[in-house]
């Protein structure tokens, strides 16, 4: 398995796949080999289907995780092993179309008030105030904060793309307070380990603690703050293509789901039932 893993790693690095994607792909290919106790190059499409059923029925993984496993296996066989197998040999699970959880502005305030510690509060405020992903926030450097132009530089975000995010005056004040209190040298949110930034897990744990302390009866993750950022911008009248650029979405379809979450237009509509009531009153 080791020579094959190295070949696959080389193929992923040549194609500049994100480090997290590389780790996930290797993980699922290792799981495939462990399940059959055989090297993957000795397996075929029937075994791939059996492995997928195992992930769905026994492991009960989410559709997103099952599909990621299929992407990893497809990369191994189509790219590294150069198998000329059609797409249907790598079946994908239908992903339910669920609306993202969104906090109200009042809930965001209440949640942030319960975040433990200045560092984690500043980091989670950056997630909401600039709409950043958790992986983007933890890797921010001091030099990424452009207070002259009121922008945050996001270097090599998802899809290995650079972009600029908004820097609000209130967020700048919070970040300056954090910087003056600790004087970090390179990373905006450094780890207790020298020369490293805080981990994604530590920020997720702080988010989980704040959710329990706040008592808000919603599922709140770091990504919920990003969803709330986009939805609140849309409800305040921001053009959806501007939101697309701020979030770093490649396709407008990804951003458009926030139009289904936004309640501003729904609240402003009148139900046909109200018109029926008016007509009934007029007859009286």
Q: What is the pLDDT of residues 104-125, one digit of tens each?
A: 999 999 999 999 999 999 999 9
Note whether 153 and 256 are same-domain residues. yes
Last residue of a domain, one of 36, 64, 89: 89
The percentage of the chain sitting over the pLDDT mark of 70, rounded to a whole number, equals 89
Residue 258 lies in a domain: yes
- Which is more confidently placed, 113 or 239? 113
pLDDT for 279 equals 58
pLDDT band at 155 (very low <50, low <70, confident <90, very high): confident
| Six-digit token string for 37 | 């106790």
In the predicted structure, residue 158 carries a pLDDT above the cut 70: no
Note whether 82 and 129 are same-domain residues. no
Residue 277 lies in a domain: no
Note whether 85 and 111 are same-domain residues. no
Number of domains in the chain: 2
Note whether 133 and 248 are same-domain residues. yes
How, if at all, do strands 145-146 and 161-166 pair? unpaired
Cβ pair 242, 270 in contact under 8 A:
no
120 is catalytic: no
pLDDT band at 238 (very low <50, low <70, confident <90, very high): confident
Question: 24 is in which domain, residue-wise?
Answer: 2-89
Catalytic one of 223, 264, 265, 279? 223
Q: Give SS3 for 81.
A: coil
Note whether 226 and 125 are same-domain residues. yes
Cβ pair 152, 167 in contact under 8 A:
yes
Note whether 73 and 121 are same-domain residues. no
Last residue of a domain, one of 89, 123, 153: 89
Last residue of a domain, one of 60, 89, 118: 89
Of 5-14, 45-54, 161-170, least confident by mean pLDDT is 161-170
Distance CA 78, CA 93 (A): 19
Number of Cβ within a 10 Å radius of residue 201: 10
Mind giving me the DSSP string for 86-133?
A: -GGGS--PPPP--PPP---HHHHHHHHTT-SSHHHHHHHHHHHHH---
Q: What share of the chain is helix, strand, coil (3-state, %, to 5)?
A: 60, 5, 30
In the predicted structure, residue 29 carries a pLDDT above the cut 60: yes
Residue 47 lies in a domain: yes
Cβ pair 210, 124 in contact under 8 A:
yes
Note whether 118 and 165 are same-domain residues. yes
232 is catalytic: no
Burial group, residue 28, by CB count within 10 angstroms (0-12, 13-18, 19+)? buried
Phi first, then psi, for residue 161 (nearest 5°) are: -120, 140
Residue 97 lies in a domain: no
Note whether 200 and 129 are same-domain residues. yes
Residue 275 lies in a domain: no
| Six-digit token string for 7 | 């070949």
153 is catalytic: no
CATH number of the domain where residue 254 is located: 1.10.443.10
In the predicted structure, residue 48 carries a pLDDT above the cut 80: yes
What is the average pLDDT score of the chain? 88
In the predicted structure, residue 282 carries a pLDDT above the cut 70: no
- Which is more confidently placed, 231 or 189? 189
Catalytic one of 121, 226, 227, 232? 226
Note whether 174 and 250 are same-domain residues. yes
Burial group, residue 7, by CB count within 10 angstroms (0-12, 13-18, 19+)? middle
Supply the pTM of this predicted model. 0.71
In the predicted structure, residue 174 carries a pLDDT above the cut 90: yes
Q: In what order do the strands lie in the sheet with 151-157?
A: 145-146, 151-157, 161-166
Residue 282 lies in a domain: no
Note whether 68 and 141 are same-domain residues. no
Name the DSSP letter for residue 164: E
In the predicted structure, residue 252 carries a pLDDT above the cut 80: no
Distance CA 59, CA 246 (A): 37
Burial group, residue 130, by CB count within 10 angstroms (0-12, 13-18, 19+)? buried
Q: Measured at the alpha carbon of residue 169, what is the angle toward residues 238 and 207, in degrees to the nearest 5?
A: 80
Note whether 118 and 179 are same-domain residues. yes
226 is catalytic: yes
88 is catalytic: no
Residue 276 lies in a domain: no
Note whether 123 and 214 are same-domain residues. yes
133 is catalytic: yes
Most confident of 202-206, 239-243, 253-257: 202-206
CATH number of the domain where residue 15 is located: 1.10.150.130
Catalytic one of 133, 208, 212, 257? 133
Mean pLDDT of 180-194: 90
The percentage of the chain sitting over the pLDDT mark of 90, rounded to a whole number, equals 62
Catalytic one of 7, 30, 141, 158? 158
Residue 77 lies in a domain: yes
Name the DSSP letter for residue 183: -
């Amino acid at each position: 398995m080791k020579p094959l893993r190295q070949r696959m790693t080389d193929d992923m690095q040549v194609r500049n796949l994100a480090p997290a994607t590389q780790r996930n792909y290797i993980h699922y290919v290792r799981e495939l080999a462990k399940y059959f106790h055989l090297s993957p190059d000795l397996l075929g499409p029937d075994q791939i289907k059996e492995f997928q059923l195992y992930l769905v029925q026994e492991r009960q993984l989410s559709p997103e995780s099952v599909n990621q496993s299929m992407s990893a296996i497809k990369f191994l066989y189509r790219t590294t092993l150069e198998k000329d197998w059609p797409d249907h040999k790598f079946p994908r699970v239908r992903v339910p179309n669920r609306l993202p959880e969104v906090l109200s502005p009042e809930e965001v305030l209440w949640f942030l008030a319960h975040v433990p510690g200045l560092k984690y509060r500043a980091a989670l405020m950056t997630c909401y105030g600039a709409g950043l992903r958790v992986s983007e926030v933890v890797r921010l450097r001091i030099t990424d904060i452009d207070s002259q132009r009121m922008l945050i530089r996001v270097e090599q975000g998802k899809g290995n793309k650079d972009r600029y995010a908004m820097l609000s005056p209130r967020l700048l004040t919070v970040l300056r307070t954090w910087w003056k209190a600790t004087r970090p040298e390179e990373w905006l949110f450094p780890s207790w380990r020298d020369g490293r930034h805080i981990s994604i897990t530590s920020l997720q744990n702080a988010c989980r603690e704040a959710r329990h302390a706040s008592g808000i009866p919603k599922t709140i993750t770091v990504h919920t703050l990003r969803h709330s950022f986009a939805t609140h911008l849309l409800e305040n009248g921001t053009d959806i293509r501007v939101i697309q650029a701020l979030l770093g979405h490649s396709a407008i379809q990804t951003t458009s789901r926030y139009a289904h979450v936004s309640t501003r237009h729904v609240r402003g509509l009148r139900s046909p039932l109200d018109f029926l009531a008016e007509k009934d009153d007029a007859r009286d």
